[in-house]
Amino acid sequence: MTVDYRANDPATGRTVVLTVPSEESAESPILLQRFYREARAAGSLQHPNIVAIYDLGVDRGNPFITRELLEGCDLGELAGREKEKEAQTPQASAKLLDYLLQACRALSYAHQRGVIHRDVRPQSIFVMNNGTAKLTNFVHARLPEAFTPVSAGIPTGTFDYMSPEQVRGGRVDAGGDIWAVGCTLYELLTYKKPFQTENVTAFMIAVMSQEPTPIHELRPDLPTELDDVLRRALKKDRTERYKSIDALVKDLEPMVRQMQAAGPAA
């Protein structure tokens, strides 16, 4: 949807990322709206775990965004490297979950300000070389002032992480982000998506009516309480899920500490 350039801001002398719409996006009102939505959503949020937007403007009819330069890789790539090692340990998983917890704190901050991300996944969490995780990809975000009409009835986000209400094209609130955090948590621990299917139709059926394989069956080396966290995060009825990201974090943090302190897997 966009093209990124590494650039120098002459006003500040700092290196930034200059983002402009692709040719396709520039010709599509919906895609162009998403371009502006990302800038408005992330730009309204000042948090150490959210990518910083410096400027949004138009130059000779061409819209652009400047944002902070992130150096590192996304959490999905990082998890992929761990999978290639074929040596799962509680400590390695705890490290991945620590990055997820940082993103959860950013989500909590966003939710308190009326911004719903709607596309939480490993690829939306960027891990910088200094160990700081940044929540990115706000192109599908719902802003506090209104539910965008063009999204009504249309699933918004990435299918593998969509909640049942999101799949149905309904209004997505913080509960949808909590579901996506649950899917991401599951994937980081097992290197599998909780609902792995062959096509979109099968995925929709699975999300509506099936339960993922319990964590303890795939990772008996991890705290069994992780299954309780996932069950609450992945309740089909959003009113039965965690009431807030903070509540999920409160339950997950002690387990991450327990995993960090665990001895090497046998």
Confidence of residue 31 (pLDDT cuts 50, 70, 90): confident
Structure confidence by residue, pLDDT tens digits, 97-130? 999 999 999 999 999 999 999 999 999 999 999 9
Residues 49 and 131 in one domain: no
Residues 111 and 10 in one domain: no
The domain total for the chain is 2
Q: Tell me which of 4, 98, 119, 160 is the catalytic residue.
A: 119
Confidence of residue 233 (pLDDT cuts 50, 70, 90): very high
Does some domain include residue 266?
no
Residue 25: predicted pLDDT: 77
Residues 62-67 have a mean pLDDT of: 90
pLDDT mean across residues, the chain: 90
CA distances from 232 to 59, 117, 144 (A): 47, 20, 26
pLDDT at position 90 over 90: yes
User: Do strands 133-135 and 125-128 pair parallel, antiparallel, or not at all (unpaired)?
Assistant: antiparallel
Residues 150 and 53 in one domain: no
pLDDT at position 154 over 80: no
Range of the domain at 158: 72-261
Residues 25 and 117 in one domain: no
Tokens of 189: 């621990």
> Which of 67-76, 90-99, 199-208, 238-247 bottoms out in mean pLDDT, i.e. has the lowest?
199-208
Q: Do the beta carbons of residue 163 and residue 174 sit within 8 Å?
A: no
Residues 43 and 98 in one domain: no
User: In sequence order, what DSSP letters do the residues of 7-58 get, joined into one string?
Assistant: EE-TTT--EEEEEEE-HHHHT-HHHHHHHHHHHHHHHT---TTBPPEEEEEE
Residue 171 sits in a domain whose CATH number is 1.10.510.10
Q: Do the beta carbons of residue 86 and residue 167 sit within 8 Å?
A: no
Residue 62: predicted pLDDT: 85
CA atoms within 13 A on the CB side of 126: 18
pLDDT at position 139 over 70: yes
pLDDT at position 263 over 80: no
Residues 192 and 124 in one domain: yes
Residues 57 and 78 in one domain: no
Residues 190-218 have a mean pLDDT of: 92
Tokens of 196: 């792995």
Residues 136 and 9 in one domain: no
Residues 28 and 64 in one domain: yes
Does some domain include residue 102?
yes
Q: Give the residue from 68, 88, 115 where a domain finishes.
A: 68
Q: For the packed helices 174-190 and 245-261, what is the interaxial angle rounded to 10 degrees?
A: 20
Structure confidence by residue, pLDDT tens digits, 14-29? 999 999 988 887 788 8
pLDDT at position 202 over 80: yes
Does some domain include residue 63?
yes
Residues 83 and 197 in one domain: yes
Residues 113 and 229 in one domain: yes
Task: Note if 173 is an active site residue.
Answer: no
